Structure 1
């Protein structure tokens, strides 16, 4: 065994390693660090004995104290449900249009509706209910089937074009590509665009207005304000569900897209549907 090298300046032995003539001193660890390290080991062993910690094939060691954070969560959730029970019963017994008249009930419904929205609705309508391509923005005042709280409740409960539910909203815009000439479709698209923006060819607007009056006004209204009984959207405000460009409008007139919204009443129950209706109605666009 070779003798340890002693540094001439400090008198401390080196580790035996050398890099380009540089040696590393073999200084001992500070006492406070060693004692802290030993205490951490003792603490870890004690923790592993007292609490669930060591994984086994079908679970983990239970620990001498028998503590379970999962059991605590289950207990807290059970207590929360008991605490909410009275309010949920009150919501179930109160017509959805009257909930706003009880401030405590309104606040509870908004909180519950917000939570239910994040779990069930945000995937399509966005976390802020701002909508996405093909899914309506719920913050504005453009409602195809009406924006009163009772109308919103019906839409959420029974859905749109959801064939399983007898009370679902049903409407279907015909494919005008089979009824109108291509030039007529361009003309009516130009007219519709002119109600909220500038069309690419203003000379088509007058002819498009005639086409609109003959083919579209029966559902969308003489002034293109929409008719909620038919689920026909307002066309005069520049808010578009299927696209706002002239090409998108032409495509929708020629061969319209029809979305489907499921009925939620059987999945979530009436109290949750009422809370969702109250929450959506308070977003700012409710009528």
Structure 2
């Protein structure tokens, strides 16, 4: 119901002049304590915006008359902790990668520091739990199937230089031909070799086509993936005989890989992380369960 104008009854406090379903709103003054508190908050807010950084400008916020800088506070705390950890960071850098596990204190530091580095820089692709994302080609770091090797030195090299990037001349590099898209194999040959790869990995396959695919495989794939599909870590060629697949192991996924190839890129972290961070995150990844 719409509000209607009413006059206050005799002896009652003044009203706002409105009534809703018989309910009138009195026009009583606010309590003085509430008003003074409200005014004090306004004064405090004005004083705060003058004293501290507050108003955003084009490139930065107003500095405030007292010159307080929360960024400087954070940077100061980081510098303080860096100074406290300087000795053990130097020890981590000086220690051979394979010898880190011999020092419990160094192990504790590397695990905690590496976990922090991983969560900040690696989890976006490999996942918070490091299980990767198969559909996008982000490797699972929990298993023992490694394209470029899973020992400490190999993981460190991969993290440091990355894979197939254009910014580090020492990046791990391999490139599979686009057998179907570039016409290196016709549709029938692609189908045959896919059936043979399915056979290698113990999946259901068409036996007749797989026999024909073995010839196609020997002529086009064996140089990288090995005679029996065992892979080659020197070339980053994946093993084809197990159930671990970077981009999926179904007939459709393998067909897509043969036709169009895969070309995942990982950045080199040696320009973004310090040496102690590279070593710490390499130790952390190695200890997730799949390191050799």
Structure 2 residue 13 is matched with structure 1 residue 7: no
- Specify the alignment match of 1:159 in structure 2: 162
Q: Within 5 A, what are the aligned runs for 1:131-150? A: 131-132=132-133, 133-150=136-153
Residue 282 to residue 21, structure 1, CA distance change in 2 (3 Å):
same
Q: C-alpha displacement at 1:62, in angstroms? A: 1.7
Q: 2: CA distance between counterparts of 1:18 and 1:170?
A: 79
In structure 2, the residue matched to 1:28 is 29
- Kindly indicate whether residue 142 of structure 2 is the aligned counterpart of residue 172 of structure 1: no
Distance 1:48 1:176 in 2: 65
Distance 2:186 2:216 in 1: 11
Give 1:155 deviation, angstroms.
Answer: 1.3
Equivalent-residue separation in structure 2 for 1:154 and 1:15 (angstroms) = 77
Give 3-state SS (helix, strand or coil) of 2:234's partner. Answer: helix
Hey, what's the Cα distance between the residues in 1 that align with 2:184 and 2:120? 43
Residue 160 of structure 1 deviates from its aligned partner by 2.6
Distance 1:117 1:56 in 2: 33
For 2:102 and 2:252, locate their aligned partners in 1 and report how far apart those are by CA, in whole Å.
46
Contact 1:7 1:14 in 2 (8 A): no
Among 237, 254, 260, the residue aligned to 1:232 = 237
Greater displacement, 198-207 / 154-163: 198-207
Pairing 1:121-270 to 2, within 5 Å after superposition: 121-132=122-133, 133-162=136-165, 165-177=168-180, 178-196=183-201, 198-199=203-204, 201-270=206-275
Equivalent-residue separation in structure 1 for 2:53 and 2:281 (angstroms)? 41
Secondary structure in 2 matching 1:257: coil
Counterpart CA distance in 1 for 2:15 and 2:99 is 84
Q: Is 1:88 the counterpart of 2:93 in the alignment?
A: no
**In structure 1, what is the Cα distance between the partners aligned to 2:174 and 2:145?**
17
Q: Deviations over 1:161-191 (max 9, x none)?
A: 3465443333333444455443232122112
Structure 2: state its 5+ residue gaps.
1-5
Q: Distance in 2 between matches of 1:121 and 1:187?
A: 38
Is the Cα contact below 8 Å between 2:132 and 2:139 reproduced in 1?
yes
How well do the aligned residues superpose, as a CA RMSD in angstroms? 3.2
Structure 1 alignment gaps of length 5 or more: none
Of stretches 147-156 and 13-22 in structure 1, the one that deviates more from structure 2 is 13-22
Structure 1 residues 227 and 21, CA gap change in structure 2 (3 angstroms)? closer
SS of structure 2 residue aligned to 1:265: coil
Shift of 1:141: 1.9
Cα distance in 1 for residues equivalent to 2:17 and 2:192: 90
Q: Distance in 1 between matches of 2:35 and 2:186?
A: 89
Q: Is the 8 A contact 1:7 1:25 kept in 2?
A: no
Normalised TM-score (structure 2): 0.79
CA–CA distance in structure 2, aligned partners of residues 115 and 208 of structure 1: 47
Query: Is contact 1:191-1:199 (8 Å) kept?
Result: no
CA contact (8 A) 2:115 2:281 kept: yes
1:16-36 deviation line (CA, Å, top 9, x unaligned):
334566532223334553454
Distance change (3 Å), C-alpha of 1:196 and 1:61: same
Look up the match of 1:72.
73
SS at match of 1:74: helix
**Count of aligned residue pairs for this structure pair:** 280
The secondary structure found in structure 1 opposite 2:237 is coil
